[in-house]
Structure 1
Amino acid sequence: MTDATPDPYATPLAFGQRMQILRQRRGISRVVLAGLVDMSPSWVKRVENGQLQTPSLDMILRIAEALRIRDLSDLTGRTTSMRVDLFTGPGHPRLAAVRDAVNRFPVAADRQSPPAEHIRARLGHAWSARHSAPNHREVVGSLLPDLIEDAQLAVRQAESAPERRAAQAALSEVYSLSQFFLAYQPEPALLWRVAERGIVAAQDSEDPHTIGVAAWLTAQAHRDSGPAHFDAADAVTTSTLRHLEPLLPDASDDVRAITGALQFEAGYTAARRGDAGVAWRYWDLAERTAQALPGGYFHPVTSFSRAVMSAHAVTVAVELRSGTESVRQAARAEAAVIPSRPRRARHRIEQARGYQLDGQPEAALATLDQAYEAAPETIRYNGYARRIVLEETEAAAPERRRRACQLAEKIGLLTD
């Protein structure tokens, strides 16, 4: 006899047993899971106990989304016929080079680091390329290895305290850029290593904007790890806001913008919890912060701006599982005014989630096509988009099924 938790990947566990084990590992109660998939707690219990048959594909996908299951076979147990990655996209061809640059530990410096101004200029170019290129991961992945090495070297060779703080700020921003590249790739440990290094470098820089950006990304990493980590996400967000808010009267636009981005992140996590009041209260706070920024301002890392707040409203409504409100917010939000291609594509994906919630699968697929046009590499790595497309590949309507299959082929959804 043993009290150890069974391995959900071992046979012959039934679907319900796998669901229960994965739910418990995520720290989600039956009540919470039931709310996320719009069913009753008793339904969840009966599925887990084997009293109900394995649900339909669309429900399996909803469960996978709620549990943030990265590989559908972890839930279904089917490893031989078809393997489907949901919340992990394919490993990018540039991933190995970025991983090597992060993992490298150079002890001796055999050359002089580039000037800080040079590293800053390259960072600016990299952020601009990320926002403007449809293949943004390819562009950023090609720039990161040299940027990581040079920024690390600049910290080690700094000769004064101010120089070292400035170099740490640049290094933290390089790690922030790395997190965008690594997100949703099959290297979670590497992503966390980069996030932790970014936070440490930001703290050493003592620069408010750098600290805010590193906290913004770390809060997202915690939240994307599942409900058991929501408190950690909130702790990072609220502590950073307490640090930044007293500085706002004399702060730069960038500091005010990262404060607004963090305010929205607090609302985003609340929406994931299903707390509508807190979610919309933080959205209102972020909206006021955005309206106080110049009309054409656009934060180079987070995309925070006046224009993006309507897109954020769609996200809140979707996370609160309100199809009607999601569609209403989607109708108000104009993606064309968002200058960043990946952020515009992400907004289209959120709109598609809203249409799906509202029972408009044709509109959802059409909107995902628009997301693909804006930035193919965004939809290719987005778990929500992949779930919708996969579900629609088995739609009863032939035209929907054909359109979904075409999109699934373009984004490389199914792998043998």
Structure 2
Amino acid sequence: MTTQTVGERVRAARKIAGLTQLQLANRAHMSLSLVKKVEQGTTPASPAFIAACARVLGLGVAYLTSQPYPVQSRDEHKVHSVIPALRREIAAYLLPPTSEVAPRSIRDLAEAVKHASTLRQSASLDQLGVELPPLLAELRAAVHHYEGVERERVYGLLAEAYAAAGQIAYKLGYADLSSLTTERVEWAAARSGDPLAMAAADFYRAGELIATAEWRGALDYLDTARDAIADRLRTDDEAALAMHGVLHVKSGLAAARAGDADLSDAHLAEAQHAARHVTRGSDYYRLAFDTDSANIWAVGLAVERRDGTEAVKRAAAIEPFGPTAPRERVGHHWIDLARGLQLHGDRSGALEALFRARQIAPLQTRYHPQVRETVATLAESDRRRTDTLSGFARWVGLAGV
């Protein structure tokens, strides 16, 4: 099975829409040179490029990335087979429980949700997918079982569990289901009585806006989210400070993809300042924001604005990650660094970084669209491709590389 790159799908969609490369470039607010290079396969399609093209062409991002990717093995079928059960439970969020069996205590439920979040942060998508549907069903039953403050606590746990479900859907390429889980996070958080849970929901909503190239809207939305928790910052609330910081890095992402490097750096500076006052290893609202997280974002934000040299420079300056840094985030760092090294012209370093990402978080790496883009472009730019590169390409599911 031949796998199309994003560039090939953009070219085909552009021609169907009757657009020239110059027209697409102008409407998507990017250079003609970039459009040509991506279509030729000599430059990887960044998330910003993909989102902008999808918006102009009237297509979903998932169409251009070919997600979810075709299932080609029994192991892959096992990973994807959890999606129908997850989809059913997400759809059933308003239904009363179907069993008269009382849910566990709130303390036990909190431990179960914590375990699910730990699986998510370790990028154990297969195991998480098996455990989440029955846990979501039990939390749904608990909402009907408990009352008052205890019910609000259950809603908070439900918001966290929905966020974990959203990461499964997002990482496996089910964009529609991922968007739906964001709505569920917002719905549950709004009933939790917890302003910081609502701010965490805003973080995920901003991600949805960014993914659809609504970058300026995301920036405004995140400004409002930070304003909503401003009073908590005045009380030296570390959880609020961590939330403030993570909302700033999300703003940095929106600004970077909008092409505003100065604004992205300004938000990053605010986030780094907040991180220095947050205990390392903290995991408030399962967003794992601390100095390690801020350092990972610093590299990633440079990559998002296509500044590979700055990304490599920032990566070289950061301290080794602590033992509490989630494998999900550390693995993503190596994916980002691979992209930065490629932009910097270090192709062998880029491939080495991808192997590091695979070692740390294999499922996340295999299904990440930017991994495929990086590998495909490495192969296109090096006709003397090595067996190592070809083997990695086959592992991620790229045929003919």
Bin of the TM-score, shorter chain as denominator length:
0.7 to 0.9
- CA change 1:31–1:174 in 2 (3 A) is closer
After TM superposition, give the deviation of residue 329 of structure 1 in Å: 1.0
Partner of 2:209: 222
Residues 277-297 of structure 1: CA deviation (Å, up to 9, x unaligned):
111111010111100112443
| Letter of the 1:255 counterpart | A
Distance 2:90 2:135 in 1: 10
- CA change 1:109–1:272 in 2 (3 A) is same
- Contact 1:155–1:168 (Cα < 8 Å) also in 2: yes
2:248 paired residue among 263, 288, 304: 263
Residues 385-404 of structure 1: CA deviation (Å, up to 9, x unaligned):
11011222334352x44322
Note if 1:130 corresponds to 2:120: yes
SS in 1 for 2:45: helix
1:147 paired residue among 135, 147, 159: 135
SS in 2 for 1:183: helix
- Give the root-mean-square deviation of aligned CA atoms: 3.3
- CA change 1:207–1:21 in 2 (3 A) is farther
Partner of 2:84: 96
After TM superposition, give the deviation of residue 109 of structure 1 in Å: 4.4
Distance 1:297 1:209 in 2: 15
- Contact 1:395–1:401 (Cα < 8 Å) also in 2: no
- Contact 2:312–2:337 (Cα < 8 Å) also in 1: yes
Identify unmatched segments of 5+ residues in structure 2. 1-10, 71-78
Partner of 1:396: 382
Partner of 1:10: none
Distance 1:20 1:385 in 2: 30
Distance 2:112 2:22 in 1: 45
Note if 1:56 corresponds to 2:46: no
Partner of 1:382: 368
Distance 2:67 2:12 in 1: 22
Partner of 1:5: none
| Letter of the 1:125 counterpart | H
Partner of 1:110: 99
Distance 1:63 1:340 in 2: 24
SS in 2 for 1:250: coil
2:29 paired residue among 29, 32, 35: 32
Partner of 1:66: 49
- CA change 1:117–1:24 in 2 (3 A) is farther
Partner of 1:199: 186
SS in 2 for 1:140: helix
After TM superposition, give the deviation of residue 221 of structure 1 in Å: 1.9
Identity %: 23
Distance 1:166 1:283 in 2: 32
Note if 1:343 corresponds to 2:336: no
Distance 1:388 1:145 in 2: 33
- Contact 2:203–2:222 (Cα < 8 Å) also in 1: yes
- CA change 1:70–1:392 in 2 (3 A) is farther
Residues 159-200 of structure 1: CA deviation (Å, up to 9, x unaligned):
32x222212111111111111111143432222221112112
- CA change 1:24–1:397 in 2 (3 A) is closer
- Contact 1:85–1:413 (Cα < 8 Å) also in 2: no
2:349 paired residue among 342, 359, 363: 363
- Contact 1:176–1:213 (Cα < 8 Å) also in 2: no
Partner of 1:308: 293
| Letter of the 1:316 counterpart | L
After TM superposition, give the deviation of residue 317 of structure 1 in Å: 1.0
TM-score (norm 2): 0.83
- CA change 1:353–1:23 in 2 (3 A) is same
| Letter of the 1:253 counterpart | E
Partner of 1:6: none
| Letter of the 1:155 counterpart | V
Partner of 2:392: 407
Note if 1:287 corresponds to 2:277: no
- Contact 1:279–1:316 (Cα < 8 Å) also in 2: yes
